[in-house]
């Protein structure tokens, strides 16, 4: 079920390595320090609020009574600790956010009604470009003619609960590629992508360089996302990717018989010399991706898969090649129909699990998020695979 009710995502880890539900409600980005004191510090640091409305004006002060008209104006006015509240409505034009927050005072852009603030960009590039560190982008509907939904060049960021869809890739199938969300800067780190619904990013099988969720740098949690009808891979790690977690995503109907698939992990091309280490691919449902399910991959002649990687407890079926490992073996892989309540590869289905699904209660809880895509608590015991906690 793809539901427009607002939801927040948190993560379950042995140490505190990301924001709690309270932090997300306050609009603060992930804790990458493992310091449990950050929760209280972040909550007390969020002290400033700016407002954007389709009925505002950029000459206004950005107050609740006199809001700005554009996110670009609000972004320019934001300082560390600012939450930018964006009212429902249409916001045509590309968004660029450049100012950084801090570890205890992030900058948060929040659609006050989930998917109510509708960003429709222009041109062949990115609909939203973020260059700031410690920035959150939460709850928006993002679409347009270009090749990128959110181009993130920052570190310690959170892209959460957005609907990113129907990117036309109007620049054509080129080496520039494309993605709904890309963590692009090779030297950046810790870009979390949580609880987004991503679909129709190009046309399935049209362009090998167009992905759903694409991460090119160290760290980051890719969790609770629903990804379907992407040109190549639903989720893709490459370039300088390492030390990532890909957990509890529902990934289906991506690519074609000739290209792409569900999830690809590897490192290659620029900047070079990177190995993928300590990356976890766990608890995902990877279904009906015609060519590949889950794949470790390196460019020809390279040895890009290092140590500490785990591929475990995923349901993978409906692919010509379900799981391909270059180093080690996948464990706990489940085959067969996941038994969604109603499967529709075009996206109008209900992707919760039926009673008796082979994906029910099969997650490895150490790397499962604490809640599902709708904010439903996952049990302390057995947890369902995929984005929904259904039973």
Q: What is the pLDDT along the chain (391 residues), one digit of tens a residue?
A: 554 332 333 333 322 222 333 333 334 444 333 333 334 444 445 579 999 999 999 999 999 999 999 999 999 999 999 999 999 999 999 999 999 999 999 999 999 999 999 999 999 999 999 999 999 999 999 999 999 999 999 999 999 999 999 999 998 998 889 999 999 999 999 999 999 999 999 999 999 999 999 999 999 999 999 999 999 999 999 999 999 999 999 999 999 999 999 999 999 999 999 999 999 999 999 999 999 999 999 988 789 999 999 999 999 999 999 999 999 999 999 999 999 999 999 999 999 999 999 999 998 878 899 999 999 998 767 899 999 998 6
Which of 152, 143, 135 is CA-nearest to residue 117?
143
Q: Domains (ranges, CATH) in the chain? A: 21-367 (2.160.20.10)
Task: Measure the CA–CA gap between 62 and 46, rounded to whole angstroms.
Answer: 17
Question: Backbone dihedral region of 35: left (phi > 0), alpha (psi from -120 to 50 degrees) or beta?
Answer: beta
Among 290, 343, 299, 362, smallest CA distance to 320 is for: 290
| Paired sense of beta strands 315-317 and 292-296, if any | unpaired
Contact status, residue 365 vs residue 12, Cβ threshold 8 Å:
yes
Is residue 123 exposed (0-12), middle (13-18) or buried (19+ Cβ within 10 Å)? middle
């Amino acid at each position: 079920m793809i539901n427009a009710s607002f939801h927040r995502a948190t993560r379950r880890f042995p140490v505190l390595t990301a924001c709690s539900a309270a932090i997300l409600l306050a609009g603060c980005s992930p804790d990458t320090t493992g310091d449990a004191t950050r929760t209280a510090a972040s909550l007390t640091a969020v002290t400033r609020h700016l407002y954007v409305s389709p009925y505002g004006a950029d000459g206004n002060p950005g107050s609740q009574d006199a809001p700005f008209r554009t996110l670009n104006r609000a972004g320019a006015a934001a300082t560390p600790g600012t939450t930018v509240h964006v009212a429902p409505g249409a916001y045509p034009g590309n968004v660029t956010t450049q100012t950084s927050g801090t570890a205890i005072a992030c900058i948060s852009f929040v659609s006050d009604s989930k998917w109510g603030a509708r960003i429709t960009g222009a041109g062949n590039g990115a609909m939203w470009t973020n260059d700031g560190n410690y920035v959150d982008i939460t709850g928006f509907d993002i679409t347009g003619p270009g090749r990128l939904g959110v181009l993130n060049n920052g570190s310690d960021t959170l892209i959460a609960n957005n609907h990113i869809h129907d990117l036309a890739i109007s620049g054509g199938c080129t080496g520039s590629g494309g993605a709904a969300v890309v963590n692009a800067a090779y030297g950046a780190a810790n870009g979390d992508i949580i609880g987004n619904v991503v679909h129709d990013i190009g046309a399935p099988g049209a362009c090998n360089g167009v992905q759903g969720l694409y991460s090119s740098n160290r760290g980051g949690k890719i969790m609770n996302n629903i990804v379907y009808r992407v040109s190549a891979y639903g989720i893709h790690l490459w370039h300088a990717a390492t030390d990532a977690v890909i957990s509890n995503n529902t990934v289906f109907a991506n690519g074609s018989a000739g290209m792409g698939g569900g999830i690809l992990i590897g490192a290659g091309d620029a900047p070079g010399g990177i190995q993928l280490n300590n990356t976890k691919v766990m608890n995902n449902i990877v279904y009906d991706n015609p060519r590949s399910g889950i794949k470790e991959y390196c460019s020809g002649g390279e040895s890009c898969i290092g140590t500490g990687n785990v591929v475990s407890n995923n349901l993978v079926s409906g692919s010509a090649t379900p799981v391909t490992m270059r180093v080690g073996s996948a464990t706990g892989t489940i085959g067969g129909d996941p038994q969604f309540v109603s499967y529709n590869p075009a996206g109008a289905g209900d992707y919760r699990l039926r009673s008796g699904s082979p994906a029910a209660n099969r997650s490895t809880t150490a790397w499962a998020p604490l809640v599902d895509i709708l904010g439903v608590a996952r049990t302390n015991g057995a947890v369902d695979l995929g984005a929904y906690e259904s039973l």
